[in-house]
């Protein structure tokens, strides 16, 4: 596609022309400078700039403004990111139109304090808001199920997947997200929160707005917002993408004021959960980004669900998994003639029958129990509770199947009295990585823990490197353990804001290597096969278990291999079975 930069824009000293006005409005909606281009394909956006096609020539001045603002709203709510667009690759034009309609409806809701009233009325009138989705991923999945979608009004524009992919390849480092901006502002805002002076309240935001705007349109936008770069800055051009920029004014309804957010070391959802900061591997620079991600551990909220089974005795599946774990866990051994245990001691059972037949009082200890040895093992079960696992697979979702595996594995570990914990994780940007406690290391696997597990709903994204580093740190902090295992149950797809493709793969691989160097064995489980899993874990480092019976069969070779790899690195030898 041949594109040209928009024609010369006049100085904005009097009333602005329609094109200049459209640029200003689009920049205000998107929350950053928007570059306007002219092209031969229908009007679309690549996630950073907006290309006006021949279809825009047929619109009135006001319709052009609505068209540009509609595309800018898609940029503002994260509709045009490679991870989402990838799902729509090869989809029909009906799916594309449905995705645009759903995302514009979502933008109408999330940007209701920012969108001009006339555009909001157009969305309500022409698209409706009865089926608003919760995320761009949900919109993409829902659009793929639509066989026929109505034509959209001309002011909606079009979806151009190729332009988004080209932009992502050419500019892999996108500007900071809202969460990143909030984190960078926390300390400054907290220092000013006791200052009621209007100028003091504006200074922090204006400092952020002063950087990336340039050229006549940029200066006009700065004048409109009350921010101006000092003279002699030496920045020229129509629009730049190298700085941090966010809109000011009233935030969307339901947003938390930056001054009300807890510090970066605290959880964003609760001020009582302490966060932990971790680095992230930048494969392009060949170095870590220090203090790059913040992970908070907290209890799930609103996890009231009747989906999970009630407290019950050890299930058949858990018994099978427990037997497999007993063969591989180096800190446990068999104890014959026990009052309870996962297995029956056949010799003791025969002796009991003989004693009864002979009229003697039998020995009731007819089970095979377990005894703890000096060398202990710790296991952290980590469930991927992100949207990538929420898509339908037959009658249940992939997340449902993964949750069953986590439930059975947690129950088996608890039955063996293994020092274990079960957490779920999800992310929304690098400063909002959440570990949701189902069972802590010091907790029992009881009804409350299972309710927390079964009350989870998948949402958010997967910054897998940060999750692995936090899981590794949690295991490393447990005292008295000779062997540590991190079991990740998920689809292996790593994606988050600014975290995808080769960058995410390299960081995840680096986190796994760091875990093994710290003596933590890492394995992966999933309910379905994928290339992402094999690339991440290797052939021996993961297993596909579509139900607990397969899990019971696969858990032994999986853990044996992982513990063996760690033992070799540490110069140890571990037997597969100790009695």
CA 463 – CA 458 distance, rounded (Å) = 14
On whether the pTM is more than 0.85, the answer is no
* pLDDT tens-place string over residues 165-194: 887 776 554 444 444 444 444 444 444 444
- Helix, strand, coil content of the chain in percent (nearest 5): 40, 15, 40
Q: What average pLDDT does range 351-379 have in this prediction? A: 79
Q: How many CB atoms lie within 10 A of CB 360?
A: 11
Which carries the bigger pLDDT value, residue 202 or residue 289? 289
* Domain range list for the chain: 3-170, 176-226+255-260, 316-331+375-570, 336-371
The pLDDT of residue 374 is above 50: no
| Per-residue H/E/C for 53-97 | CHHHHHCCHHHHHHHHHHHHHHHHCCCCCHHHHHHCCCCCHHHHH
Dihedrals φ, ψ of 12, to 5°?
Answer: -95, 80
Q: 206-220, 461-475, 530-544: which range is least confident on average?
A: 206-220
Contact 375, 330 (CB under 8 A): yes
Contact 47, 167 (CB under 8 A): yes
Q: What average pLDDT does range 445-472 have in this prediction? A: 92
Residues 6 or more apart whose CB falls under 8 angstroms from that of 139 comprise 79, 84, 99, 102, 103, 106, 133
Residues 6 or more apart whose CB falls under 8 angstroms from that of 49 comprise 34, 35, 36, 37, 167, 239
Which carries the bigger pLDDT value, residue 61 or residue 95? 95
* pLDDT tens-place string over residues 317-356: 777 888 777 766 544 566 788 877 778 888 888 888 888 8
In angstroms, the Cα distances linking 145 to 96, 99, 138, 277, 387 are 11, 11, 11, 40, 17
Q: Residue 491, by phi and psi: left (phi above 0), alpha (psi -120 to 50) or beta? A: alpha
Q: What's the CATH code, domain 316-331+375-570? A: 3.40.50.410
Which carries the bigger pLDDT value, residue 465 or residue 327? 465
List alpha helices for 416-547, DSSP H.
447-454, 464-476, 501-517, 531-537
What is the model's pLDDT at position 294?
Answer: 92
The pLDDT of residue 467 is above 90: yes
> In the block, which residue shows the tokens 């397969």?
550
507 falls in which pLDDT band (50, 70, 90)? Answer: very high
* pLDDT tens-place string over residues 129-172: 556 777 777 888 888 888 888 888 888 899 888 888 887 776 55
437 falls in which pLDDT band (50, 70, 90)? Answer: very high
Q: Please name every residue paired with 380 in a beta bridge, in sequence order, or none if there are none.
A: 421, 486
């Amino acid at each position: 596609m041949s594109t040209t930069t928009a024609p010369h824009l006049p100085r904005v000293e009097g009333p602005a022309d329609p094109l200049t006005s459209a640029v200003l409005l689009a920049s205000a909606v998107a929350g950053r400078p928007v570059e306007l281009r002219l092209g031969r394909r229908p009007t679309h956006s690549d996630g950073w700039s907006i290309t006006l096609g021949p279809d825009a020539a047929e619109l009135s001045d006001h319709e052009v403004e609505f068209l540009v603002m509609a595309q800018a709203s898609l940029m503002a709510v994260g509709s045009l990111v490679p991870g989402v667009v990838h799902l729509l690759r090869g989809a029909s034009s009906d799916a594309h139109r449905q995705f645009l309609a759903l995302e514009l409806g979502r933008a109408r809701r999330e940007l209701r304090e920012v969108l001009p009233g006339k555009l909001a009325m157009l969305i309500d009138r022409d698209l409706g808001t009865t089926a608003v989705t919760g995320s761009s991923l949900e919109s993409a999945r829902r659009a793929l199920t639509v066989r026929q979608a109505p034509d959209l009004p001309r002011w909606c524009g079009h979806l151009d997947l190729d332009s988004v992919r080209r932009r992502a390849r050419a500019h892999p480092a996108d500007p900071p997200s809202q969460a990143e901006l909030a984190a960078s502002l926390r300390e400054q805002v907290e220092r000013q929160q006791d200052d009621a002076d209007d100028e003091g309240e504006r200074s922090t935001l204006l400092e952020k707005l002063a950087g990336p705007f340039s050229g006549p349109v940029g200066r006009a936008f700065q004048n409109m917002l009350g921010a101006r770069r000092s003279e002699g800055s030496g920045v020229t051009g129509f629009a730049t993408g190298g700085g941090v920029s966010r809109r000011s004014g009233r935030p969307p309804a339901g947003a938390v004021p930056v001054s009300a957010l807890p510090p970066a070391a605290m959880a964003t959802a609760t001020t009582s959960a302490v966060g932990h900061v971790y680095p992230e591997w930048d494969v392009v620079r060949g170095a870590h980004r220090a203090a790059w991600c913040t992970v908070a551990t907290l209890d799930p909220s609103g996890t009231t669900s009747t989906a999970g089974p009630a407290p019950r005795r050890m299930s058949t599946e858990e018994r099978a998994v427990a037997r497999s774990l007993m063969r591989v866990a180096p800190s446990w051994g068999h104890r014959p003639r026990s009052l309870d245990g996962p297995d029956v001691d056949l010799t003791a059972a025969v002796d009991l029958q003989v004693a009864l037949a002979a009229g003697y009082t039998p020995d009731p200890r007819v089970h095979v129990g377990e005894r703890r040895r000096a060398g202990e093992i710790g296991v952290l079960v980590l469930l991927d509770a992100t949207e990538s696992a929420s898509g339908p697979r037959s009658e249940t979702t992939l997340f449902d199947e993964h949750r069953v595996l986590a439930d059975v594995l947690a129950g088996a570990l608890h039955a063996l009295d293994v020092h274990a914990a079960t957490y779920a994780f999800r992310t929304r940007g690098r400063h909002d990585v959440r570990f949701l406690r189902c069972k802590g290391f010091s907790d029992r696997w009881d009804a409350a823990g299972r309710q927390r597990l079964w009350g989870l709903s998948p949402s958010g994204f997967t910054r897998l490197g940060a999750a692995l580093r936090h899981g590794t740190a949690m295991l490393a902090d447990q005292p008295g353990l000779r062997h540590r295992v991190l079991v990740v149950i998920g689809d292996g797809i790593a994606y988050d804001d600014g975290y995808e493709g080769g960058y995410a793969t390299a960081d995840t691989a680096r986190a796994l290597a760091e875990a093994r160097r710290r003596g933590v064995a890492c394995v992966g489980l999933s309910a379905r096969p994928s290339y992402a899993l094999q690339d991440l874990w290797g052939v021996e480092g993961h297993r596909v278990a579509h139900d607990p019976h397969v899990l019971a069969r696969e858990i032994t070779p999986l853990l044996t291999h992982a513990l063996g790899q760690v033992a070799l690195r540490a110069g140890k030898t571990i037997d597969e079975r100790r009695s």
